[in-house]
Amino acid sequence: MTDQRTTAAETPLWPAPTAAGGPVDATVTVPGSKSVTNRGLVLAALSSEPGWLRRPLRSRDTLLMAEALRTMGVQIEETVSSASRTAAVEGAPVSGEAWRVIPTTLHGPATVDVGNAGTVMRFLPPVAALADGAIRFDGDPRAYERPLHGVIDALRTLGARVEDAGRGALPLTVHGGGSLTGGTVEIDASSSSQFVSALLLSGARFNQGVEVRHTGRTLPSTPHIRMTVDMLRAAGAQVDAPEDGGEPNVWRVTPGALLGRDVTVEPDLSNAQPFLAAALVTGGRVTVPDWPARTTQPGDALRDIFSAMGGSYELDERGLTFTGSGRISGIDVDLSDVGELTPGIAAVAALADSESVLRGVAHLRLHETDRLAALVKEVNGLGGDVTETDDGLRIRPRPLHGGVFHTYDDHRLATAGALLGLAVEGVQVENIATTGKTLPDFPALWEGMLGTPVGERA
């Protein structure tokens, strides 16, 4: 676990509210999906005509993506409705309701700040290879440690010039020539599905398209690859994928133009997790409106995972309503397809009445932080009994006590800490603002769900 904590003075502690008011009963409107927003931005920037992204997520990861594309020449305009304009005049904060994306001939020189966004650091080097000029990529210290070799090596095979000081990681410079040959490439994407998504997203614009052959033993987050394939097809690309009867572990994108589209972004179902979990933990009820009937988002798996842990759900015109039973059972589950849900599931499992084993998530050691090590340290710091296995966690519930829950600049650690705080008095979450990576409104949404501002709670 890389400890990037800043000093206590810089990272205030957030007293996590307990569910002192009893079971939660709330409707929580969750902002747009990070994964859909950032794919939508990339595809729109590579299209042959302008497009729209409605209800985009506005968070650190997506604003970094938008800014990066702007530095390469893409125009991204915010539109605001007249109702929001009136609110602005009256002093209320305004967020853009839609982004109009106007593509252009991409160009350097430019510098891209990837922050610690996997989607930005992996999806954009192939875009940069299509630009004319040098595009430098830099980011947070942790971003230097996250795997990028799959993208860098692949781009070289496909004809790009990439300078990375031999590290196979950030910082790096892509020297684009305005086009890329493309063709067939073998990669090992066992450390991140985003390597595959990155090459496919830009692949239609390579002269020969792209054929990506994954050679590693395992492949995480396959629904996210499916999301890439579906969004590419919706933008007019011809894509062959394994799940449609193609060769296993091989994807092909035919060269061709992408269409400008009008995309409405689904709510981020992984960010719905803490709210649904609150229903489970307190034996209450939470409704998330606009839950899609069909989706490639991994968060959709929460319906079944949390039901297996003791709740039940209804999906109807109101959205997804999840109801806790007052009892939480442990679970033995393979999370390889839905790895980003692990911290939240681990937090619920620590409050269950039996042991849990979370499997298939070794690659989480290279996420925002080493999530397995961080969860062991922080849950055990509150009196828990969590151990690391080769590919995940074993969680034996024990009575927990209050204390500081460190978050290592990891948004999902922060929401996991908030969840524990619902059931355990005196939990203080360090740097709750780190939720801004994908959910800037988290503290307000959380307090709104509980019905009372924290300061006013008993």
Ligand X SMILES: O=C(O)C1=C[C@@H](OP(=O)(O)O)[C@@H](O)[C@H](O)C1
Ligand Y SMILES: C=C(OP(=O)(O)O)C(=O)O
Known catalytic residues are: 340
- Sole window of 11-19, 73-81, 106-114, 116-124 interacting with ligand Y (rule: CB under 6 A): 116-124
Tokens 């020449």 locate to: 73
Pairing of strands 250-253, 98-102: unpaired
Q: Residue 323's beta-bridge partner residues?
A: 285, 312
The answer to the question of residue 221 lying near ligand X (CB under 6 A) is: yes
Q: What is the DSSP letter of 424?
A: S
Q: Looking at beta carbons only, is 39 or 252 nearer to ligand X?
A: 39
- Sole window of 18-26, 80-88, 187-195, 375-383 interacting with ligand X (rule: CB under 6 A): 187-195
Q: Do the annotations mark residue 146 as ligand-binding?
A: yes
- Sole window of 22-30, 72-80, 112-120, 325-333 interacting with ligand Y (rule: CB under 6 A): 112-120
- Sole window of 113-121, 128-136, 314-322, 345-353 interacting with ligand Y (rule: CB under 6 A): 113-121
Does residue 290 contact residue 264 with C-beta atoms inside 8 Å?
Answer: no
Q: Do the annotations mark residue 192 as ligand-binding?
A: yes
Site mask, ligand X, residues 52-91, x = CB under 6 A?
Answer: ----------------------------------------
Neighbours of 97 (CB within 10 A): 15
Q: Looking at beta carbons only, is 175 or 367 nearer to ligand Y?
A: 367
- Write out the two tokens for 99: 């982004």
The answer to the question of residue 194 lying near ligand X (CB under 6 A) is: yes
147 binds, among ligand X, ligand Y, none (CB under 5 to 8 A by kind): none
Cβ burial 299-311 (10 Å sphere, 16+ → b, else e): bbbbbebbeebbb
Site size toward ligand Y (CB under 6 A) is 8
- Write out the two tokens for 440: 């800037």
Closest to 36 measured CA to CA, from 114, 106, 123: 123
The answer to the question of residue 268 lying near ligand Y (CB under 6 A) is: no
Sequence-ordered strand ranges (E) for 219-359:
239-240, 250-253, 262-264, 285-288, 312-316, 319-323, 332-334, 356-359
Q: At what angle do helices 273-282 and 342-349 cross, to 10 degrees?
A: 10
The answer to the question of residue 285 lying near ligand Y (CB under 6 A) is: no
Among 140, 153, 340, 409, binds ligand Y (CB under 6 A): 340
Alpha carbons 345 and 356: distance in angstroms, whole number? 10
The answer to the question of residue 268 lying near ligand X (CB under 6 A) is: no
Q: At what angle do helices 34-45 and 194-203 cross, to 10 degrees?
A: 30
The answer to the question of residue 209 lying near ligand X (CB under 6 A) is: no
Q: Do the annotations mark residue 371 as ligand-binding?
A: yes
Q: Residue 135's beta-bridge partner residues?
A: 110, 174
For the chain, the maximum distance between any two Cα atoms, rounded to a whole number of angstroms, is: 64
The residues that touch ligand Y, with contacts defined as CB under 6 A, are 117-119, 340, 367-368, 412, 438
- Which residue numbers belong to the known binding site for 3-phosphoshikimate? 34-35, 39, 192-194, 221, 340, 367
The residues that touch ligand X, with contacts defined as CB under 6 A, are 35, 118-119, 192-194, 197, 220-221, 224, 339-340, 363
- Which residue numbers belong to the known binding site for phosphoenolpyruvate? 34, 118, 146, 194, 371, 412, 437
